[in-house]
Amino acid sequence: MIETYSQSAVAEAKAYVENVYRSVVLRNPHESEFHQAAREIFDSLVPVFAKHPDYRQLGLLERLSEPERMVTFRVAWVDDSGRVQVNRGFRVQFNSAIGPYKGGLRFHPSVNASIVKFLGFEQVLKNSLTGQPIGGGKGGADFDPKGKSDMEIMRFCQSFMTELYRHIGADTDVPAGDIGVGSREIGYLYGQYKRIRGASEAGVLTGKNPLYGGSLARTEATGYGCVYFVQKMLQSADLDFRGSRVVVSGSGNVSIYAMEKAIQLGATVVACSDSAGYIHDPDGIDLETVKRIKEAGRGRIAEYAAEHPQAIYVEGCGGIWSLPCEIALPCATQNELNEQDAERLIANGVKAVGEGANMPSTLEAIDRFHAAGVLFGPAKAANAGGVAVSALEMAQNSARVSWTFEKVDGQLHRIMEKIYADCTEAAEEYGHPGNLVVGANISGFLKVAGAMIAQGVV
Ligand code: NDP
Ligand code: 2IT
C-alpha cells in the first residue's frame, strides 16, 4: 500500500530534518563526507517523520546522527630503519541499539574523523538491513600500507591493537577489514589481542583466516553479495548478467570477488582499476592474472597489460566510467563516480549500477541515474553481504563450529535477496517506488528506531 501524507505533515517533517541536518553540519564542521552521508539518509527519511510525528518528539534523528562515542589514539611504531613513526587511530561506536558495534577498520592515508563517521553512520543502517543482531561502528588509521614491509605491517598492527583492545570485545564491538585491512592484517591484530587478553576470544574480530576461526566465504562475501543484489535488480527489468559487459572499479577484495561472480554468471568484465589507473580488456579480464598481481603479489594493475597485449592500460582511474557497459560496479572508494561520469555511463547505455564500495557515487551522480531510469543499488544495501557474513562468522565462533562454504554462501544469497525485497517494499510503501536509496534508508532506519524506542532514552 502506498502511503500519502498531508502537505503540512510533509512540510513539518522537512523542516525537522533540515533543522537536524543544520545542527549536524555545525557540530561537525569541515566533515564533508559525513555531511554527504547525512544529507542522503536524512532526505530519504522525510516520509517516515511525516508518518510518525512522535519520532520527532523522541529526538530519533538527533540521537541517530550523534555517535554513542568515538576514540582517537596515538599509534607509535618502529619502521625497518629503526625510526619511530606516529599515526592516528580511530574507532567510532555509532549505534548499539540492535547489537554490538560492528564494522571494519580502514588503513589509508586519507582516514580522518569525517571518513570514519560517514562510514560508521552508513554501517548502522547497513547492519540493520542484514537482519542480523549487529549495531554499527567503524575505525582505522591514517597509516599508508603501500610500500611497507611485512614486518612493518605487523608492528603497526600490534601497536594499533595495543590501544584498541580496551575498547572492543566479542559482545561490545567487533571490528573487521576494509580498505588496506585484509586477512593478513586481521591475523596480526588478532594475535596481539590474544596476547594482551591471554585468552582465545575468536568473536572479537571477523574476517579471520579459517585456520583459526574465520568463516569460509567471508573473503568472497562482499563482492558475491553485491552481484546477487544486482542480479535481483536486473531480474526486475528482465535483464541478466549473461551476455552483459561489466565495468568494475578497484582491484581489491570487493572488486575481485564481484568480478568472479559476474564472470560465473556469464558476464564479460571489460575493465578494472587501482588508484593509479585502469586496464581495459575488451575480450574479458583474466581474473587469475588480477589475483596473482593483487592478492599474492600486492602489485599494480598496470602489470596486467604486460601479460595481456590485447589489453590497454590507461593512467588515472577516473576514465574507467567512459567505457561502454551495461553494468557498472564501483568497488574502490568514496566519491569515485561523479555527475559527469554518470552522464557518460548513461550516454553509453548503462542499465544498472551496483555500489560495492561505500558511497562511491556523489549525490549528483545518483540523481542522474534516477532521472535516467538506471537501476541503482545503493552501497548500504548492495555491499551488505560482507558484514552479513561477518555476523555469520560471529555466530559460528559463539557456537564453536565451522560451516561449509556452500552453507555460508547459501545464507548470503538469501540475505541479499531479502535485503532487495525489503528495500523495494519500503520504497513502495513510503511513496518512492523503485528508489532503492529511499528504500534502504527507510528499511534500515525503522528497525533501529524501533529498537531505540523499546530501550528508552539512552
Ligand atoms: P582493498 O584495500 O582490498 O581494495 C581497495 C581498492 O580500491 C584497491 O584497488 C585500491 O587501489 C582502490 N582504491 C582505494 N582508495 C582509492 C582511492 N582513493 N582512489 C582510487 N582507488 C582507490 O579494499 P576493499 O576491496 O575491502 O574495499 C573497497 C571498498 O569496498 C571500500 O569503499 C570499502 O569501504 C568497501 N567495502 C568493503 C567491504 C569488505 O568486506 N572488505 C565490505 C563493504 C564495503 P590501490 O591498491 O591503488 O590503493
Ligand atoms: O563496510 C563494510 O561493511 C565492511 N568493511 C565490512 C564490515 C564487517 O564488519 O565485516
Average pLDDT of 131-147? 98
Q: 296 falls in which pLDDT band (50, 70, 90)?
A: confident
For residue 362, the domain's CATH number is: 3.40.50.720
Least confident range of 210-224, 262-276, 292-306, 436-450 = 292-306
- If asked whether residues 346 and 230 sit together in one domain, one would say yes
Q: Enumerate residues 6+ apart whose C-beta is below 8 A from 397.
A: 170, 202, 203, 213
Rounded to the nearest 10 degrees, the angle between the axes of helix 113-129 and helix 385-399 is 70
Residues 33, 114 contacting (CB under 8 angstroms)? yes
| CB neighbourhood size of 172 (10 A) | 14
Q: Is the residue at 121 inside a domain?
A: yes
- If asked whether residues 266 and 289 sit together in one domain, one would say yes
Q: Is the residue at 361 inside a domain?
A: yes
Q: Is the residue at 313 inside a domain?
A: yes
Which CB contacts under 8 angstroms, 24+ apart, belong to 400-409?
A: 402/210, 402/215, 402/216, 403/215, 403/216, 404/216, 405/216, 405/217, 408/215, 408/216, 408/217, 408/218, 408/221, 409/217, 409/220, 409/224
Quote the pLDDT of residue 297: 85
- If asked whether residues 253 and 370 sit together in one domain, one would say yes
- What grid cell was written down for 290? 588480477
Residue 309 Cα to ligand 1 middle (Å):
26
- If asked whether residues 163 and 241 sit together in one domain, one would say no
Cβ–ligand 1 distance for 179 under 6 Å, the answer: yes
Quote the pLDDT of residue 332: 98
Average pLDDT of 132-157? 98
Among 101, 123, 168, name the best residue to mutate to test ligand 2's pocket (greatest count of ligand atoms within 8 A of Cβ): 123
- If asked whether residues 79 and 49 sit together in one domain, one would say no
Ligand 1, atom 32, lies closest to the CA of 357
State how far the Cα of 447 lies from the Cα of 48, in Å rounded to an integer: 12
- If asked whether residues 100 and 225 sit together in one domain, one would say no
Quote the pLDDT of residue 6: 87
Q: Enumerate residues 6+ apart whose C-beta is below 8 A from 356.
A: 222, 223, 226, 248, 250, 254, 255, 258, 329, 330, 331, 379, 382, 383
Atom number in ligand 1 closest to CA 177 = 41
Check whether 1 has a pLDDT greater than 60: no
User: Taking CA 376 as the corner, what is the angle to CA 374 and CA 378, rounded to the nearest 5 degrees?
Assistant: 165
Average pLDDT of 134-152? 98
Three-state SS for 225?
A: helix
What rounded mean pLDDT belongs to the chain? 97
Q: Is the residue at 451 inside a domain?
A: no
Average pLDDT of 137-144? 98
Taking CB atoms and a 6 Å cutoff, what residues make up the pocket around ligand 2? 102-104, 123, 126, 176, 178, 206, 358, 386-387, 390
Q: 5 falls in which pLDDT band (50, 70, 90)?
A: confident
* Among 65, 90, 106, residue at a domain's last position: 65
Q: Is the residue at 445 inside a domain?
A: no
Number of domains in the chain: 3
DSSP string for 260-277: HHHHHTT-EEEEEEETTE
Burial 57-66 (b: 16+ CB within 10 A, else e): eeebbebbbb
Cβ–ligand 1 distance for 333 under 6 Å, the answer: yes
- If asked whether residues 364 and 230 sit together in one domain, one would say yes
Check whether 286 has a pLDDT greater than 60: yes
Q: 3 falls in which pLDDT band (50, 70, 90)?
A: low
Q: Which domain holds residue 37?
A: 7-65
- If asked whether residues 184 and 253 sit together in one domain, one would say no
* Among 329, 344, 377, residue at a domain's last position: 377
Ligand 2, atom 4, lies closest to the CA of 104
- If asked whether residues 224 and 372 sit together in one domain, one would say yes
State how far the Cα of 389 lies from the Cα of 409, in Å rounded to an integer: 9
Three-state SS for 437?
A: helix
Residue-wise pLDDT tens digits, 69-95:
999 999 999 999 999 999 999 999 999
Residue-wise pLDDT tens digits, 161-191:
999 999 999 999 999 999 999 999 999 999 9
- If asked whether residues 47 and 76 sit together in one domain, one would say no
Q: Is the residue at 214 inside a domain?
A: no
Residue 354 Cα to ligand 1 middle (Å):
15
Ligand 2, atom 9, lies closest to the CA of 103
Residue 433 Cα to ligand 1 middle (Å):
31
Q: What is the pTM of this model?
A: 0.98
Average pLDDT of 288-295? 96
Proximal ligand: closest to the CA of 206: 2
Residue 173 Cα to ligand 1 middle (Å):
22
- If asked whether residues 102 and 171 sit together in one domain, one would say yes
- If asked whether residues 296 and 309 sit together in one domain, one would say yes
For residue 109, the domain's CATH number is: 3.40.50.10860
Q: Is the residue at 150 inside a domain?
A: yes
DSSP string for 48-64: HHHH-THHHHTTHHHHH
Residues 53, 12 contacting (CB under 8 angstroms)? yes
Point out the residues that are catalytic.
138
Q: Is the residue at 111 inside a domain?
A: yes
Q: Cite the DSSP H helix spans in 237-302.
A: 253-264, 287-291
Residue-wise pLDDT tens digits, 398-407:
999 999 999 9
Residues 330, 270 contacting (CB under 8 angstroms)? no
Proximal ligand: closest to the CA of 129: 2
* Among 342, 377, 412, residue at a domain's last position: 377
Among 333, 359, 416, name the best residue to mutate to test ligand 1's pocket (greatest count of ligand atoms within 8 A of Cβ): 333
